[in-house]
């Protein structure tokens, strides 16, 4: 009986409140990038919030299936050549990553709700891009990309994404997939096995930070620049195209 009462109350949900909630969502969607930019916050984008609230089982299965298909398509060994050193240091990263890179190879859990671990420290996106360990201070390409989630005023120029890692990884995949076409919004440069790919988006996906960005009032960045070696991501960051 109580359940029916509650249900009937839900059914009578006031249009006024529905309107208020819609307005709040629209306001959040508009203000979130500006708040991240101006105040240095890292509020997740509305899209990523909505995606995270979607039923996980179906999504996970879908993404994992895509990744598996991509892995099969790349059946040239490209996805399994992580070095012993890569494998040995992946344990540390898995501990310090929180919800980020915590997935073991073969585990159903997706890293950043998006990437599938195909070997220790080796992550595959649905579009087939690989994120692998790297030398130096950052230890992993995902950490390297994560630097571009916040501004760094010490750098001469520093592209900053207006989103969290799940959103950024989707943008990178989107850019990569569009780069496979001959779109006028794509500019490619290839040298000695490496590619620099600029992909222009219809809306800003970040802003130009660093000293140059500060001087110019943090102009919006509508493009992503991908630096790749084959399908391995070296770097990705917003750029003003």
Partner 1 sequence: MEQVPANPWIHIGECPFCVEGLCRVRTCTDASGCHLYALCDECGSAWVEPTTDSPKVFPDLDDPRCPICAQAMYGDHASWARAEDLENTPWSSEAIFDVMPSCESASRSPEAADDVVDISENFPESVDDISYGQDEPKPGC
Q: Which two tokens stand for residue 188?
A: 């490619």
Write the interaction track for partner 1 spanning residues 173-202; mark x where CB under 8 A is met and - where it is not: ----------------x-xxxx-x------
232 binds partner 1 (CB under 8 A): yes
Binding residues for partner 1, total number by CB under 8 A: 36
- Reduced to 3 DSSP states, what percent helix, strand and coil does the chain have, rounded to the nearest 5? 40, 20, 35
**Gap between the Cα atoms of 49 and 33, Å rounded:** 14
Sign of the CA dihedral with 224 first, then 136, 94, and 129 last: positive
Using CB atoms within 10 Å of the CB of residue 101, give its burial: 0 to 12 exposed, 13 to 18 middle, 19+ buried: buried
105 three-state secondary structure: coil
Provide the minimum distance between the beta carbon of 31 and partner 1 in the complex, in angstroms, as a whole number: 28
Provide the minimum distance between the beta carbon of 121 and partner 1 in the complex, in angstroms, as a whole number: 11
Provide the minimum distance between the beta carbon of 110 and partner 1 in the complex, in angstroms, as a whole number: 23
33 binds partner 1 (CB under 8 A): no
User: Where in 104-133 is the site for partner 1 (CB under 8 A)?
Assistant: 132
CB 111 within 8 A of CB 147: no
Write the interaction track for partner 1 spanning residues 74-103; mark x where CB under 8 A is met and - where it is not: -------xxx-xx-----------------
Residues that bind partner 1 (CB under 8 A): 81-83, 85-86, 132, 134-138, 143, 147, 152-159, 189, 191-194, 196, 211, 225, 227, 229, 232, 234-235, 237, 239
């Amino acid at each position: 009986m109580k359940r029916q009462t509650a249900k009937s109350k839900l059914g009578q949900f006031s249009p006024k409140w529905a309107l208020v909630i819609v307005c709040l969502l629209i306001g959040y969607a508009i203000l979130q990038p500006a708040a991240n930019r101006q105040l240095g916050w890292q509020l997740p984008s509305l899209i990523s919030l909505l995606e995270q609230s979607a039923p996980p089982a179906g999504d996970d299965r879908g993404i994992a299936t895509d990744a598996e298909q991509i892995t099969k398509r790349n059946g040239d060994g490209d996805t399994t050549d992580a070095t012993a050193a890569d494998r040995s240091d992946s344990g540390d990263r898995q501990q310090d990553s929180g919800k980020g890179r915590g997935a073991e190879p073969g585990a159903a859990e997706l890293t950043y709700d998006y990437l599938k671990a195909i070997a220790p420290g080796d992550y595959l996106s649905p579009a087939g891009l690989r994120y692998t360990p790297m030398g130096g201070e950052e230890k992993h390409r995902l950490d390297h990309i994560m630097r571009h989630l916040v501004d760094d005023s010490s750098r001469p120029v520093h592209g900053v994404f207006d989103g969290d890692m799940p959103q950024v990884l989707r943008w990178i995949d989107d850019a990569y997939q569009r780069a496979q076409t001959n779109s006028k919004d794509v500019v490619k440069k290839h040298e000695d096995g490496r590619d620099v790919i600029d992909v222009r988006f219809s809306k800003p996906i970040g802003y130009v930070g660093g000293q140059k960005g500060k001087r110019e009032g943090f102009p919006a960045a509508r493009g992503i620049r991908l630096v790749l070696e084959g399908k391995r991501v070296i770097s990705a960051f917003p750029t003003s195209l």
